[in-house]
Amino acid sequence: MKASVPKAVALSMLLAGCTAGGGPGTDPSSTLPDRPIDRVARFLRGDVASELQVRVWVEEGVEVPGDPWVRLVDLLEEVTDKPGGISVDVVPVSLPSQDWTFDGYEAELDRLAQPVGGDVAVMDILAARGAYLDNDDPVLGLSWSWSRIVLLVDPLTEACDAAAGGGSGSGHTRICEATWSAIARHEAGHVIGLVGNGAPMVEDHEDPEHVHHDPDPDCLMYYAWDRAELSGRVADEDLELCDASLADLAAIRDAADPP
Residues 65-80: tens digit of each pLDDT = 989 999 999 999 999 9
Question: 152: which residues sit within 8 A by CB, 6+ positions away?
Answer: 128, 129, 130, 131, 132, 139, 140, 141, 142
- Bridge-partner residues for 86, per DSSP? 52
Is 134 strand, coil or helix?
A: coil
pLDDT digits (tens, 9 = 90+) for 21-67: 444 444 444 456 789 999 999 999 999 999 999 999 999 999 999 89
The average confidence (pLDDT) of the chain is: 84
Of 151 and 138, the one with more pLDDT:
151
Domain ranges of the chain: 9-253
Q: What is the DSSP string of 161-190?
A: HHHHTS--SHHHHHHHHHHHHHHHHHHHHH
- CB-count exposure of residue 205 (10 Å: 0-12, 13-18, 19+): buried
- Stretch 107-130: mean pLDDT, rounded? 94
- Bridge-partner residues for 8, per DSSP? none
Q: Is the pLDDT of residue 13 over 80?
A: no
Helix axes 243-253, 36-44, angle to 10 degrees: 90
Half-sphere exposure of 37 (CA within 13 A, CB side): 12
Q: Is the pLDDT of residue 3 over 50?
A: no
This prediction has a pTM of: 0.88
pLDDT-derived band at 192, boundaries 50, 70, 90: very high
Query: H-type helices in the chain, by residue range?
Result: 36-44, 68-79, 102-112, 153-164, 170-191, 243-253
Spatial CA neighbour of 91 closest among 125, 138, 136: 125
Spatial CA neighbour of 127 closest among 161, 159, 75, 92: 92
| Most distant CA atoms of the chain, gap in Å | 52
pLDDT for res 23: 47
- Level-2 CATH architecture, domain 9-253: 3-Layer(aba) Sandwich (3.40)
